[in-house]
Amino acid sequence: MEQKQITVALAGNPNVGKSTIFNGLTGLKQHTGNWAGVTVAPAAGQMKEDGQTCLLVDLPGTYSLSAHSREEEAARDFLSAGSADVIVVVCDATCPERGLRLLKQIVELDCVKSRGIPLILCVNLCDEARKKGVSIDFGLLQDVLQFPVIPCCARQSEDLRRLRRAILEAAGTANCYDCLDFSPKQLARETVRYTRVDYRRREELIDRVVTGRFSGGLIMVLLLFGVFWLTMVGANIPSDMLWDLFFSLEPRLAAALTWLGVPEAPVDLLVCGAYRVLAWVVSVMLPPMAIFFPLFTLLEDLGYLPRVAFNMDRAFMRCRACGKQCLTMAMGLGCNAAGVVGCRIIDSPRERLIAILTNSMVPCNGRFPTLISLITLFFLAGSRTHDPAGAISGNLQAAILLTALILLGVAATMFCSWLLSHTLLKGVPSSFTLELPPYRRPQIGKVIVRSIFDRTLFVLGRAAAVAAPAGVLIWLLANLHIGGQSLLLLVTGALDPFARLLGLDGVILTAFLLGFPANEIVLPIILMAYLQTGTLVEMTDPAALFTILAAHGWTAKTALCMMIFCLFHWPCSTTCLTIRRETGSRKWTALAAVLPTIVGIILCAGVNLAGTVLAWL
């Protein structure tokens, strides 16, 4: 007979390694972040041991069952429903008192007392506790609680095996908690010994610098600059290699289709349309993402991101928004859709909506290639030559300019947050609890694997999925004619007068409209529209690219307006769908698309007017 599946709930405070234990027990690779509230919905996975199957449910981190946020509500509701056959409460060995407070609340739940649901206390991060001189008497702790207490280091397989055995032994039993009454504070005093009085001194000294009023902001800007500089320096060579590889396959692909008997027009459509745009997107996007995401994830695993939220909390509070919005804004640097989903960590519905509506004002990774290309071509001296001596200084200047653009996006985010909180979404900023977790050595291998598979390939796959159809659409618009003019020219001509007011032209504005599925394809669309042949200039020849743009009237003012509009315009289709799903409202989704576009129009028109006035003078 088939054995009954055991349901095991993993509960605990944020930053106690609960999701790491979940991954170790189930073999899954659930994303774990080093800040409070990263798990905003229960995650489930199977654990198999000795022929027995257990369903593990990783509940969101919570400090209390008195719910004040979505994640706390999810944890409370699951535990209160009595759905679990075993409850594992994970606590931090360096500060067990907080975990014991949550444990006592769980013990006092009606379903736990009435059914006698077996409990297990898993004291995690014992390795960190030893380094800090924290000693726990686990025997005394278990004698008081009268249920299993498992010391654990989530990265040690032997500790996880002990926890598995404890879960299986507890399953099917019933405990009596009527006589269990303890004070978490007193119990911690009796069972915990601190052999080093200054065990947190080093972290406190680091935090004084990292979270200082002036030094904190400076460090944030320098780290942002460093990430961009490393991304640009490291992405050049692999990008050129991918470009050469993909475009060397183009004639072979065309020859193969011709050999199969495919007519000339469909061959041109598939090769010069779909394949060429797809090759552009992959060769331009993959190297920067493969560098940016691991660097960002390293800061995440190190424990730096909560410090960023702490530093920005004062500024966002002045905007009547939440400091956690800084974390969602940082997520948006990788993908705006991910940033929108990350807004679930914000407790207040009003502040969560503000964060969603303004998230796309910080550019996602898909806009970086366009911004970097325009900075390199129009604002760096000697960038269109192949002088190796100027490559390092050029990348340095480009990183500085790109950092300045990102800071402009941050400023716009804060201004629009202030505007929304004083108009459509009035309210008083709420307080929130944000734990500054200990600094931890990043797990380099897991960081690389997680950033590549969970982020890089996900974003690249989304872009590639829309790049090929977009290439087909552009080819059709360029090759279907009405009255002797292509459909593409008709569209760009109609949009040209308005675009000129913004310092752009009809082709650029059309490219942004057609690039709605993915921002990565805007620049390829512009070049295909200008050339009218579907032929894209080689990435290894920046001088030729500059010549094409200059021949169509581009100046430094055009490039600047293009970068501003690239920074501030409607979100991509994936982000809009995510906003619709998160808000459940078409009205808020439309506002999320209109708001950054209005900012972009105002700024572009202002730059264009200023440039025109200066030219007259």
User: 475-478 contacts: CB < 8 A, separation 24 or more?
Assistant: 475/268, 475/269, 475/272, 475/273, 475/274, 475/528, 475/534, 476/269, 476/273, 478/528, 478/529, 478/532, 478/534
pLDDT of residue 614: 86
Residues 42-54 have pLDDT tens digits of 678 888 877 788 8
pLDDT for res 72: 77
* Residue 70: CATH number of its domain: 3.40.50.300
Q: Which residue has the tokens 């007979």?
A: 1
**Domain span at 521:** 210-429+439-616
How far is it, in rounded angstroms, from Cα 54 to Cα 52? 7
Domain boundary among 194, 219, 238: 194
Please report, for residues 237, 244, 557, 559, the alpha-carbon distance to residue 385 in angstroms, rounded to integers and kept in the order given: 16, 19, 21, 19
Angle, CA of 437, 439 and 444, to the nearest 5°? 120
**Residue 380 contacts residue 396 (beta carbons within 8 Å):** no
pLDDT over 90 at 564, yes or no? yes
> Would you place residue 38 in the very low, low, confident or very high pLDDT band (cuts 50, 70, 90)?
low
Asked whether residue 537 is assigned to any structural domain, the reply reads yes
406 and 283 belong to one structural domain? yes
Please tell me whether residues 145 and 227 are part of one structural domain: no
Instruction: Please classify residue 454 by burial: count the beta carbons closer than 10 Å to its beta carbon, then call 0-12 exposed, 13-18 middle and 19+ buried.
Output: middle
Residue 202 falls within a domain, yes or no?
no
pLDDT of residue 562: 94
Q: Are residues 270 and 384 in the same domain?
A: yes
Residue 31 pLDDT class (50, 70, 90 cuts): low
The DSSP output letter for 617 is -
139 — phi, psi (to 5°)? -65, -45
Q: For residue 599, what pLDDT band results from cuts at 50, 70 and 90?
A: very high
Would the pLDDT of 384 be above 70?
A: no
d(CA 453, CA 466): 19
Most confident of 199-203, 229-233, 424-428, 568-572: 568-572
Rounded to 10°, the helix 276-302/522-531 angle is 160
pLDDT at 456 over 80: no
Tell whether the model's pLDDT for residue 537 goes beyond 70. no
Report the percent of the chain where pLDDT is more than 70.
89
Residue 321: is its pLDDT beyond 70? yes
Q: Does 227 lie in the same domain as 188?
A: no
Q: State the sign of the Cα–Cα–Cα–Cα dihedral 256, 260, 261, 262.
A: negative
Q: By 3-state DSSP, what share of the chain in percent is helix, strand and coil, each rounded to 5?
A: 65, 10, 25
Q: For residue 374, what pLDDT band results from cuts at 50, 70 and 90?
A: confident
Spell out a b/e string for 507-541, using b for 16 or more CB atoms within 10 Å of the CB, else e: bbbbbbebbbbbbbbbbbbbbbbbeeebebbebee
Rounded to 5°, angle at Cα 153 from 151 and 159:
65
> What percentage of the chain has pLDDT greater than the value 90?
26
Please report whether residue 221 resides in a domain: yes
In a domain, 201, yes or no: no
Question: Is pLDDT of 32 > 70?
Answer: no
185 shares its domain with 240: no
Residue 550 has pLDDT above 80, yes or no: yes
Last residue in a domain, options 167, 194, 221? 194
Looking at the fold, whether 246 and 184 belong to one and the same domain comes out as no
Structure tokens at 293: 């995401």
Confidence of residue 23 (pLDDT cuts 50, 70, 90): confident
In a domain, 434, yes or no: no
Which of these, 231, 461, 453, 214, lies nearest to 333 by C-alpha position?
A: 231
User: Which residue intervals of 480-534 are DSSP H helices?
Assistant: 487-501, 506-514, 522-531
Residues 339 and 413 in one domain: yes
Last residue of a domain, one of 142, 161, 194: 194
Same-domain status, 61 and 180: yes
For residues 38 and 134, state if they share a domain: yes
State the average pLDDT over residues 137-147: 92
Q: 3-class DSSP state for residue 86?
A: strand
Q: Which of 523, 504, 501, 503 is closest to 514 using CA atoms? A: 523
Contact 64, 433 (CB under 8 A): no
H-only helix segments in 323-366: 325-334, 336-342, 349-358
The 3-state secondary structure of 402-442 reads HHHHHHHHHHHHHHHHHHHHHCCCCCCCCCCCCCCCCCCCC
pLDDT value at position 534? 47
The closest of 438, 208, 127 to 304, measured between CA atoms, is 438
125: Cβ–Cβ under 8 A, 6 or more apart, which residues?
A: 16, 17, 92, 93, 94, 153, 154
Of 301, 296, 598, which Cα lies nearest the Cα of 456?
296
Residue 602 lies in a domain: yes
Q: Does residue 332 contact residue 338 with C-beta atoms inside 8 Å?
A: yes
Q: What is the mean pLDDT of residues 451-464?
A: 69
Structure tokens at 539: 């990435």
Contact yes or no for 507/530 (Cβ under 8 A): yes
Q: How confident is the model at residue 119 (pLDDT cuts 50, 70, 90)?
A: very high
According to the model, what pLDDT value does residue 589 have? Answer: 95
Query: Is the pLDDT confidence value at 174 over 90?
Result: no
Per-residue pLDDT tens over the stretch 54-104? 899 998 888 888 866 677 788 888 999 888 999 999 999 988 998 999 999
CA dihedral sign, ordered 220, 225, 230, 236: positive
What is the average per-residue pLDDT within 280-309? 79
Q: Per residue in 187-243, pLDDT tens? A: 989 999 888 777 677 788 888 899 888 898 899 888 888 887 887 778 778 877 888
**Tens digits of residue pLDDT in 458-510:** 666 766 776 777 778 877 887 788 887 788 888 889 999 999 999 999 999 99
Q: What are the strands of the beta sheet with 86-92, ordered from one edge?
A: 43-49, 52-58, 6-12, 86-92, 119-124, 149-151
Q: What pLDDT is attached to residue 68?
A: 67
Q: What is the pLDDT of residue 612?
A: 86
- Whether the per-residue pLDDT at 36 is higher than 50: the answer is no
Secondary structure class of 116 (helix, strand, coil)? coil
Q: Are residues 254 and 165 in the same domain?
A: no
- Domain assignment present for residue 261? The answer is yes
pLDDT reported for residue 283: 79
The answer on 133 and 228 residing in a single domain is: no
Q: How confident is the model at residue 616 (pLDDT cuts 50, 70, 90)?
A: confident
The answer as to whether 29 is a domain residue is yes
pLDDT tens digits, residue range 327-365? 788 878 877 887 888 888 787 889 999 999 999 999 887
Residue 294, C-beta contacts closer than 8 angstroms, at least 6 positions apart:
447, 448, 451, 452
Q: Is the pLDDT of residue 259 over 80?
A: yes
Q: Domain count of the chain?
A: 2
Q: Which uninterrupted H or E stretch holds 543? A: helix 542-551
Q: What's the pLDDT at 383?
A: 52
Name the residue with higher pLDDT: 509 or 451.
509
Q: Is 60 exceeded by the pLDDT of residue 385?
A: no
Distances (CA, A) of 514 to 371, 460, 509, 517: 18, 18, 9, 7
- Residues in CB range of 156: below 8 A, 6 or more apart: none
Task: State the CB neighbour count (10 A cutoff) for residue 485.
Answer: 10
Q: Are residues 219 and 125 in the same domain?
A: no
What is the mean pLDDT of the segment spanning 157-175?
A: 89
pLDDT value of residue 34: 47
How high is the mean pLDDT of the chain? 83
